[in-house]
A and B are shown apart, each in its own frame.
Chain A
Amino acid sequence: MLVLSIAAILSFSTRLFSVLRFESVIHEFDPYFNYRTTRYLTEEGFYSFHNWFDDRAWYPLGRIIGGTIYPGLMVTSAVFYHALWFFNITIDIRNVCVFLAPMFSSFTTLVTYWFTKELKDAGAGLVAAAMIAIVPGYISRSVAGSYDNEGIAIFCMLLTYALWIKSVKTGSLFWSCLCALAYFYMVSSWGGYVFLINLIPLHVLALMLTGRFSHRIYVAYSAVYCIGTILSMQISFVGFQPVQSSEHMAALGVFGLCQMHAFIDYVRSKLSVEQFNILFRSIVLMGAVVSLSVAAIGTATGKISPWTGRFYSLLDPSYAKNNIPIIASVSEHQPTTWSSFYFDLQMLTIMFPAGLYFCFNRLTDANIFIIMYGVTSIYFAGVMVRLMLVLAPVMCILSGIGVSSTLNTYMKNLDVSRKDKKTSKKNVDHTYPFKNEVATGVVFLVTAFLITYTFHCTWVTSEAYSSPSIVLSARAGDGGRIIFDDFREAYYWLRHNTPEDAKVMSWWDYGYQITAMANRTILVDNNTWNNTHISRVGQAMASTEDKAYEIMRELDVNYVLVIFGGLTGYSSDDINKFLWMVRIGGSTDRGAHIKEADYYTPQGEFRIDKEGSPTLLNCLMYKMCYYRFGEVYTEGGKPTGYDRVRNAEIGNKNFDLDVLEEAYTTEHWLVRIYKVKDLDNRGA
């Protein structure tokens, strides 16, 4: 109990690095959207939130917010907010949002304990809880300020799993209903619920195949599936997908199979063996034919939607790269590298197989579930960096089981041998020499592992995951800290010094931040639902000034915003993202003239200096980033216009902008804003 509460508190406090080091702000991009919608929800109430049509984004299309988001996160924090205000605790909604993720991660710690206890025992539960409290793979998405769906979704997911295990174990309707409710919460908060609704049927299927199917499982699954599906359809973004889209078909199929299996079991108990065999064969054949034809007809008539791109890319990692540049352009959707596995999980990667071994050792219904969860999630985490998040909890649970079982085994030996020493040395087991020494060694090893794990986690958390990307900091020459607050400088400038209805064009990464902080209308944002629209923006950025001007007039753009790191050495700026703009811009019909190859040198290099391709040196993005940069000395001993990110002197220095004028550039040139000039007066 004490250990558990310490773990829960630890999991909260370890996520506060960024607040202490910077301030209580929202990080990253998506959280800004969530923050904005939450504020809207608390100010306007649920119904207007539900019916909210946002005209600030996707100009001129707009976006129906209420029907295209998972509202769980916003509703949760709004509930917290109103509850606190009811008691006259006047906390700012921003602080509720900032601290929601750490709070939920401490809930996650508790749920992990419970879940692992259900799987193994309290000891393993404690180890797992302590591990998940500080595992970097989970911290990366739940530090204070990272106000994202995943923060609460992991909690919901583990809660659903724990309740599922509980209902499988007891076969009680009560637990199944609770499980369905937890599933509903999960559906309302994250699109990753699809993983869950496929994993549970997979578990049931595995149980059926291994002949462990029983009435308990029948009751549990039927209840969870029926109630869960009906509840999940209440979320307007999900709608009828649970019965129409192919991602959910597995669950439906298993549900049907479940009924058949139960029916067959019933029939078998009434019939003799031969009769039953004949009946069984014919029914299986018929069933297979019927379900296949139904699926075929459904797909053909469009009742069952084909799989979405993200799912294809899950099954085939190279799919996105070849077909959908917009998905591939997000760094979170890249396949995971080995080093990031170690970075995010450290010793868990080693203890994970041990935990699996112990689970196989004592196979139960529940253990089968955790094995399936572990194996599937490790595959998904390998495909997409983002899904590391799904893997982290199971890693913790299995490692918890592993560590706890190992220690249990060897601690026992340790105790025995010590007693032996005290009384007499008669009972030394000759089949197991150096029992005590081996045991001591193993115990020390595991302890050392755990200690290094703790240090590693703390280090990773404080170094890698606790910097709000909105405020950058760097070490100055004299050891002091320099803070680059350019993003907020620019957004705040936009907010106060542009017309209320100005339309800002930028690459989609910054869309959410602009709407939330600058409160201006934008063309594209991080909800990348309209590929052609993003492609149009990409075309504008990749075209020459004249062509871009046409596109900008067509899209009614007033201001253009670019991120430029050449002066400070900030590497994730728009020039480095530029190739994606070219690819996405060229991926639609209207942008067919934009070819990636044009932007490379004949040797196939992407260069911004004199050698670079002329198409690149004259495109809008290049000009906006390097406008008047050619006159600046950035580093001693280098010529003017030396780009510190790409370590090259820019190739096109003295040029003027015809259709744009510089409206604002931040102190460290990180954000540059241009105003689109009006058409010339006729005859002027």
Chain B
Amino acid sequence: MRGVLHFLIGLTVIFCIECKVKQDAIDGAIVNSKVDRKIDVSTHLVKMSTSITLENTGKSPIKSFLYALEPSLQNYLSIITANVKDKDEKLGVSQTTVASKKDLSFWRIELPSNLEPGKTMTVDVDSSYAHALTPYPAEITQSQKQQVLYNGNVYFFSPYSTKSQTTTVTTTNTAIESYSKSPKPVSQTDRTVTYGPYEQREAFSEAELRVHYENNSPFLTVTNLERIIEVSHWGNIAVEEHISMRHTGALLKGPFSRYDYQRAQDGLSSIKAFKTVLPAAARDVYYRDEIGNISTSNLKEMDDFVELELRPRFPLFGGWKTQYYIGYNVPSYQYLFNKGDNYALKMRFVDHIFDDMVVDQVTVKIILPEGAKNMRLETPYPVTQGENQLHFTYLDTTGRPVIVIHKSNLVEQHIQDFQLHYTFQKLLLLQEPLIVVGAFYLLFLAVIVYVRLDFSITKDEAKESKMRVASLVEEVQSAHDRRSALYQSYDDAINKYKSTKDANTFAATRKKVDADYKSLTQQISDLQTKLKNEGSDLAEKVNELQVSDRQYKDLVALAITLAEKLVSGKINKQQYLDNEKINKTKREDLDSKMEALRSSLA
């Protein structure tokens, strides 16, 4: 079912493309009164800039004219643009067909204003062609220089007749092996070959133009580029580019000698390094491939861009390939604009990889935040939009929408901005932090529940009893501590009594302390019974503690009697002091014994 649906969608897409291609007819009233063509073949691209002076010899005004591609170049076209001479404004350029010339490729260029009969207008048309140069010989050795062949048309290939025209071909350097020398006039000065001027040529006239020259500029082609733009509304846009590249010049024949390469510095056509220009705000740049980091790169930060000098793991000779990926972060405020919940992302469709770059295939993936909706894409040139995907990464639940765009055959002029409009509810920003908070909350809750609940199937009597004993012992200890404090109160009371000789106060204090003491002792003996019930042998120790305590209490009582006797004058001071000293020693001994017992309980 899904398959059928896809098929239907595919059909519709094809149908739409078909209906976009317009039909045009050749207007015989137009004449190219003067054509000046400059063909630049100094790099691995063919850059053709044609300045056409149009003349309307008919009766009615003209809105547009046709531009035909040379048959030898029409498969290589990357980009074509047009503007009126000395004006920046770009003219509308669209592909079209002509019924009588089915096998040719035409482009219709809209004029900014109607060309009235009898008037002329000069239009500059720029076009670039990739892979149009053929290495000849196709295989060279390491020390040989690379020579290429340019095949073209001497005449301006036009659906209209041309009155006067010249063509100049600019090569890399003066080492031009050969060039076609007819039709006359043909001349060469330094690195340019000039054909023409030629007068009065018919429409679609052709004559072979052939230049064979030395060209050691890097024939580097990106065979496949995958550009991933990940937008985060937390203020960051991560860009990663996966690049497969290939040296598309003359193939390397025979061995590669590192010795010659290092000593003689030959291998002129090989590519050692190239420069990539990143946006000025790019941070955390990395340069890696599938087996790890590539350590040979240099980063230079300029005022308005970041220059990255990349050296592949190995120099690229003809036919050699490599693959790598680079990535960086840019702050989102430069590229992401919003009004309420409506957002617009404005970024380059492709970015600079190296000068005069050629990209055969590009796939751009834009990953939007989770919850983005109503995506609408605006691109500066036609692209193929693939099916949207979902991307899952940290803390995602429903997945992030991914826009997939394909385009083939791109050059530097394609570095232009696209716009992606979408809506996003700001509240959704909180979703991911809340998930983290919730997860931790659940975790802590689970721990709390686990600690408080008893999951054992059978009760462990011994362990429980142990715990009960421990708590009882603790109680005993605290009760005993308080009791020891009471002994101190006895001492204080006695001393006070000795000095004030106030029997009433003393009796009252004593009564109070006695009551406290009794309750504590009672408490301890209760605890002792409980301990006994638990079957703990600690009960014995508590018992011992109680016995010592009783002895201590007796001693305290003795001390009180002595004090009373002293106060009432029944014994003299010396006698009291002697008795008290013996008593005190005994008390201290008992005290330390009880302390030892107390601490042995734990």
Instruction: Mark A residues whose CB is within 8 Å of B.
Output: 23-25, 88-90, 471, 483, 485, 488-489, 491-493, 496-497, 517, 628, 631-632, 661-667, 669, 675
Contact = CB atoms under 8 A, between A and B. Distances in A.
A488 B256 contact: no
- What 6 A-B pairs come out closest when comparing CB atoms? A665-B258, A661-B255, A662-B255, A23-B293, A496-B321, A489-B313
Contacts of A663: 255-256
A88 B292 contact: no
B321 A497 contact: yes
Contact of A23 (B292, B323, B394): B292
Contact of B258 (A88, A492, A517, A669): A669
B374 interface: no
A496 B323 contact: yes
A666 B320 CA distance: 15
A90 B393 contact: yes
Contacts of A485: 294-296, 313
A497 B292 contact: no
A492 B314 contact: yes
Contacts of B254: 661
30 contacts: A23-B292, A23-B293, A25-B293, A88-B393, A88-B394, A88-B395, A88-B396, A90-B392, A483-B295, A485-B294, A485-B313, A488-B313, A489-B313, A492-B289, A492-B314, A493-B313, A493-B320, A496-B321, A496-B323, A497-B321, A517-B291, A628-B257, A661-B254, A662-B255, A662-B257, A663-B255, A664-B256, A665-B257, A667-B258, A669-B258
A491 B291 contact: yes
B291 to A, nearest CB: 5
Contacts of A669: 258
A493 B257 CA distance: 14
Contacts of B322: 492, 496
Contacts of B291: 25, 488, 491-492, 517
Contacts of A24: 292
Interface centre among B259, B395, B396, by most chain A C-beta atoms within 10 angstroms, is B259
Interface in B184-225: none
Given A88-B393, A489-B314, A632 B292 contact: no
A213 B322 CA distance: 67
B256 to A, nearest CB: 6
A632 B255 contact: no
Interface in B373-422: 392-396
Tell me what chain B mostly uses at the interface: helix, strand, loop, or mixed.
loop
Contacts, number: 68
B561 to A, nearest CB: 33
Contact of B314 (A23, A631, A662, A664): A664
Contact of B292 (A488, A631, A661, A665): A488
Nearest to B399: A88
Tell me what chain A mostly uses at the interface: helix, strand, loop, or mixed.
mixed
Contacts of B289: 492
Contacts of B323: 496
A628 B263 CA distance: 12
Interface in B253-312: 254-259, 263, 289, 291-296
Contacts of A664: 256, 258, 314
A485 B320 CA distance: 19
Given A496-B323, A497-B319, 5 more contacts: A485-B295, A517-B291, A661-B255, A664-B314, A665-B257
A667 B312 CA distance: 12
Nearest to A675: B255
A331 to B, nearest CB: 25
A492 B257 contact: no
A675 B293 CA distance: 27
B288 to A, nearest CB: 9
A202 B574 CA distance: 80
B340 to A, nearest CB: 29
Interface in B309-357: 313-314, 319-323
A491 B289 CA distance: 12
A666 B321 CA distance: 16
Contacts of A491: 291
Interface string B21-34: 00000000000000
B321 A665 contact: no
Given A489-B313, A492-B313, A90 B321 contact: no
Contacts of B259: 628, 631-632, 665
Interface centre among B255, B291, B323, B395, by most chain A C-beta atoms within 10 angstroms, is B291
A95 to B, nearest CB: 12
Given A23-B292, A517-B291, A664-B256, A89 B394 contact: yes
Contacts of B396: 88
Given A492-B314, A493-B313, A665 B256 contact: yes
Nearest to B258: A665
Interface centre among B256, B292, B322, by most chain A C-beta atoms within 10 angstroms, is B292
Contacts of A631: 259, 263
Given A663-B255, A666-B258, A88 B392 contact: yes
Contacts of A628: 257, 259
Nearest to A657: B255
Nearest to A482: B295
A271 B344 CA distance: 96
Nearest to A628: B259
Nearest to A630: B259
A473 to B, nearest CB: 10
A496 B291 CA distance: 12
A25 B255 CA distance: 31
Interface centre among A90, A496, A517, by most chain B C-beta atoms within 10 angstroms, is A496
Contacts of B255: 661-663, 675
Contacts of B313: 485, 488-489, 492-493
A493 B314 contact: yes
B16 to A, nearest CB: 36
Contact of B256 (A471, A632, A662): A662
A662 B323 CA distance: 23
Nearest to B293: A23
Contacts of A666: 258, 314
A665 B314 CA distance: 10
Nearest to B289: A492
Contacts of A25: 291-293
Interface centre among A471, A517, A631, A667, by most chain B C-beta atoms within 10 angstroms, is A667
A366 to B, nearest CB: 23
Contacts of A89: 394
A665 B262 CA distance: 11
A155 to B, nearest CB: 25
A89 B395 CA distance: 7
A654 B119 CA distance: 77
Nearest to B316: A497
Contacts of B314: 489, 492-493, 664, 666
Contacts of A88: 392-396
Nearest to B317: A497
A89 B436 CA distance: 13
B314 to A, nearest CB: 5
A485 B256 CA distance: 19
A23 B295 CA distance: 10
B248 to A, nearest CB: 14
A23 B288 CA distance: 11
Interface centre among A489, A491, A493, by most chain B C-beta atoms within 10 angstroms, is A493
A497 B393 CA distance: 34
Nearest to B257: A662
Contacts of B294: 485
Nearest to B260: A628
A496 B313 CA distance: 11
Nearest to B256: A664
Nearest to B322: A496
Contacts of A662: 255-258
Interface centre among B254, B258, B293, B392, by most chain A C-beta atoms within 10 angstroms, is B258
B320 A496 contact: yes
A497 B319 CA distance: 8
Given A489-B313, A493-B314, A496-B323, A90 B256 contact: no
Nearest to B294: A485
